[in-house]
Amino acid sequence: MKMMMSKHLGILVLGKSHLYLLSEIKHGNLNKDFDELHSRASSEWKELENHLDSTRSSLRTVFEQLVERENEILYREKKLEDREVIVEQLDGIEKLCKELSEELELKKKQHNAVLITIEEKERELSHRQELLCSEIFTVLKASSDPVKLALDAVRGIYHLRLSREDTEFDASIARVGCNLLLELLMKASPEINPQARDEAMKLASDWNDKMKVASYNGLEVLGFLQFLVSFRLVSAFDANEIHSLFDAVVRNKLIL
């Protein structure tokens, strides 16, 4: 029996030793597995961190590119808006130019129409003046005393101006008529008798004195000079004064 107990005790001791050994082996394997797992986890975590860093960097790059792209789009939109504004302004300018061109063309047509009317009036007046000159010249040639006829007409026009009863328009017409009459008298070249010359000299002196103290126009100066020439009175007046009056007429472009 003791032998049996000793045998069982030995088996028990052996079993405990075996269990302890197995426990130690298993514990060692667990530590090893844990170390390997920890090492692998650390490596994978490192890889994950690297991947996350790379992903963050990529996302940051993509975000910056998107921001840049957005800014570029905004810039292009702004340029497009500016171009649209410019196009609108150009359209407005083009429209204004067209309107001005049409207005200018209309005014040009109106101006041409006025010029045509003026030219027609000038031709008509020129024709009437030719007829009038012809009639006056015929009257002078047919008159028994053309010098007295012309002198009386000029004297009447002169006194009419002094009375100031006529309008400026009528006075201008009278001066033109007076000058025309004197030109035709000079063309007819009648003999001027001493009495007519004395009367003409008296009128010329009075005329000259009045022009010195009153305002006068170019037509009146031209008429006065024409009167002196027609009645051969130029030498009776101061040469410098005559030249001064002639220069005034030239400056007013009343003669060429």
Question: Taking Cα atoms as reference points, which of 41, 43, 61 lies closest to residue 53?
Answer: 61
In a domain, 82, yes or no: no
pLDDT band at 213 (very low <50, low <70, confident <90, very high): low
pLDDT band at 73 (very low <50, low <70, confident <90, very high): confident
Query: Which domain, by its residues, includes 228?
Result: 143-251
CA dist list (Å): 152 to 51, 100, 147: 127, 58, 9
- Exposure class string for 52-64: b at 16+ Cβ within 10 A, else e: eeeeeeeeeeeee
pLDDT of residue 44: 75
In a domain, 241, yes or no: yes
Mean pLDDT of 32-45: 73
State yes or no: pLDDT of 219 exceeds 70.
yes
In the chain, how many domains are there? 1
State yes or no: pLDDT of 34 exceeds 70.
no
Q: Minimum mean pLDDT among 62-66, 159-163, 167-171, 220-224: which range? A: 167-171
pLDDT, greater one: 36 or 135:
135
In a domain, 87, yes or no: no
Mean pLDDT of 9-34: 59
Q: Please state the pTM of the whole predicted model.
A: 0.53
Mean pLDDT of 170-186: 80
In a domain, 189, yes or no: yes
In a domain, 51, yes or no: no
pLDDT of residue 49: 79
In a domain, 109, yes or no: no
Q: Judge residue 199's burial from the number of C-beta atoms within 10 Å of its C-beta, 0-12 exposed, 13-18 middle, 19 or more buried.
A: middle
pLDDT, greater one: 59 or 203:
203
In a domain, 163, yes or no: yes
In a domain, 117, yes or no: no
State yes or no: pLDDT of 111 exceeds 60.
yes
State yes or no: pLDDT of 191 exceeds 70.
yes
Mean pLDDT of 77-85: 79
